């Protein structure tokens, strides 16, 4: 779902950009000299590129919550852990996750990356992921394809209802935070397509090496 689809003329883009830059300079009025200098250098570079360089990228939604660029969406969650939860999760990751978790996530087929980070003296978990498509199907895939793995990955969160419970989506939304800035190198390539290109590239490199012998 596209949030902003109205096409602006070059002059409208330039005028809007100038207004935003002026506001940005006001906000940075009390910043340090390094930030101020860097800001002016960045603005100068954008101005040199013309209206197209100054225009904003389209903003898209991943569905219920989260952002999307092209075919790739993001999810970031910060949630409280149960007492001792971080210790149990670390033990699971270190002992079993390399054997079962990675293969299980690959079975879902839409995941580009995942990371778990323990915060605030092991009282909170930061989970971040990028994936293909919309938010609801992404959560549904985990609930139907690898529910036990997911409950081990997140069962130590306070109030986690279990991934088979319909309430799990409301739980995730409660702790999901929207990204203010997010960069995607290849927004139009799915996880499956990326792996396919890796295999093709490897095969091509091996072929060229043999030809060159």
Domain that holds residue 149: 66-175
Residue 209 domain-assigned (yes or no): no
Q: Nearest 5°: phi and psi at 85?
A: -65, -40
* 73/159 same-domain check: yes
* 146/110 same-domain check: yes
* 27/108 same-domain check: no
Residue 112 domain-assigned (yes or no): yes
* 170/71 same-domain check: yes
Q: In which residue ranges of the chain is pLDDT below 50?
A: 1-3
Residue 182 domain-assigned (yes or no): no
* 29/74 same-domain check: no
* 38/70 same-domain check: no
Q: Can you tell me the distance from the alpha carbon of 62 to that of 69, in angstroms, rounded to the nearest whole number?
A: 9
Predicted local confidence at residue 196, as pLDDT: 81
Predicted local confidence at residue 15, as pLDDT: 78
Tokens of 49: 């590129």
pTM for the structure as a whole:
0.78
**Is-contact 126 78, C-beta < 8 A?**
yes
* 52/149 same-domain check: no
Tell the residue number behind the tokens 């002026």, with chain if given.
Answer: 22
Predicted local confidence at residue 140, as pLDDT: 95
Q: Nearest 5°: phi and psi at 18?
A: -65, -40
């Amino acid at each position: 779902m596209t949030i902003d689809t109205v096409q602006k003329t070059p002059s409208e883009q330039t005028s809007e950009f100038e207004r935003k830059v002026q506001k940005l300079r006001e906000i940075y009025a009390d910043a340090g000299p390094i930030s101020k200098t860097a800001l002016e250098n960045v603005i100068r570079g954008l101005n040199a590129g013309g209206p197209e360089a100054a225009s904003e990228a389209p903003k898209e939604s991943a569905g219920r919550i989260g952002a999307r660029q092209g075919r790739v969406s993001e999810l970031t969650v910060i949630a409280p852990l149960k007492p001792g939860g971080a210790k149990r999760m670390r033990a699971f990751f270190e002992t079993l996750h390399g054997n079962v978790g990675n293969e299980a996530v690959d079975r879902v087929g839409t995941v580009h990356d995942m990371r778990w980070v323990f915060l605030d003296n092991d009282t909170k978990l930061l989970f971040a992921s990028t994936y293909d498509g919309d938010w609801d199907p992404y959560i549904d895939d985990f609930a139907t394809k690898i529910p036990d793995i997911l409950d081990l990955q997140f069962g130590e969160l306070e109030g986690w209802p279990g991934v088979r419970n319909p309430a799990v989506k409301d739980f995730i939304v409660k702790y999901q935070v929207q990204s203010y800035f997010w960069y995607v190198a290849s927004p139009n390539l799915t996880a499956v397509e990326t792996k396919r290109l890796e295999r093709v590239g490897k095969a091509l490199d091996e072929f060229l090496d043999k030809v060159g012998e």
